[in-house]
Amino acid sequence: MKVALGQFAVSREWQENADTCLDLMQRAAEGGADLLVLPEAVLARDNADPDLVVKAAQPLDGPFISQLLAASEHNALTTMMSVHVPAEQHKALNVLVAIHKGKIIAAYEKLHLYDAFAMQESQRVNPGHVIPPLIEVAGMRVGLMTCYDVRFPELARRLALDGAQVLVLPAAWVKGPLKEMHWELLTRARALENTCYMVAVGECGPRNIGHSLVVDPLGVAVANAAESPALLFADLDPERIAYARRVLPVLANRRFERPELK
């Protein structure tokens, strides 16, 4: 599988962000990618107005996703990103969407909300209640996660036991002391302990670190972005997964049952 990582800074204007996503989709398709992963919460953001994520939220049949669906009809690319969707109690849901050939093929509502490091995502977002599905891209099985999910090893392990070979993680990783170290440590750990590829794409800009990366099943970072907008490509090799699981059979050697959502 050839994967593309589209890192950019989200603006407060949803149409500007849609245009950026459309441009990245076109460039990823022209580069021969099978899968494009974009950051978390790409619909709209304003660091001075945190309520914008709720005020600007759109349903999945709204104009933002509709434009991306229309563009996806003309290539074989699968594209993933997270957007805010209106929800009950004057809040939103943080939904990871996968689109392919003009259709939404998966939608995962973020399970773990970022109530940490003086942030309170749950003030504006309701949590999901369903373990994300696996989808198939270019013959490989892909599991879905979103940002803060990476700090919870149970979800990555559950996806790996369900058959995931690749873990995808759109994110908006906030800057702060040791935060870049946490990002790299956690993405490498989730890949290594589950002998999966990890494709983690972070928003860049004044608040978030960027630093998108691809980690292979033995914990090696094989592609890495800095702090500015970028489009990276990487090849994911099923043989590398088979080799890792042969020399490091942690999934076979485990003594615990697969995690269940409480």
CA dist 167 and 37 (Å) reads 11
Average pLDDT over residues 166-195: 98
In this prediction, residue 82 has a pLDDT band, given cuts at 50, 70 and 90, of very high
- The pTM of the full predicted model, rounded to 2 decimals, is 0.97
pLDDT in tens, 70-80: 999 999 999 99
In this prediction, residue 17 has a pLDDT band, given cuts at 50, 70 and 90, of very high
pLDDT in tens, 89-106: 999 999 999 999 999 999
Share of the chain above pLDDT 70, in %: 100
pLDDT at 13: 97
pLDDT at 45: 94
Given a contact cutoff of 8 angstroms between Cβ atoms, the answer to whether 166 and 143 are in contact is yes
Q: Which residues of 232-257 are buried (b: 16+ CB within 10 A; e: fewer)?
A: bbbebeeebbeebbeebeeeeeeeee
* Residues annotated as catalytic (active site), given as ranges: 40, 110, 147
Q: What token pair was written down for 5?
A: 């990582």
pLDDT at 20: 98
CA dist 45 and 174 (Å) reads 13
Q: Alpha helix locations (H) across the chain?
A: 14-30, 52-55, 63-72, 153-161, 179-194, 238-247, 250-253
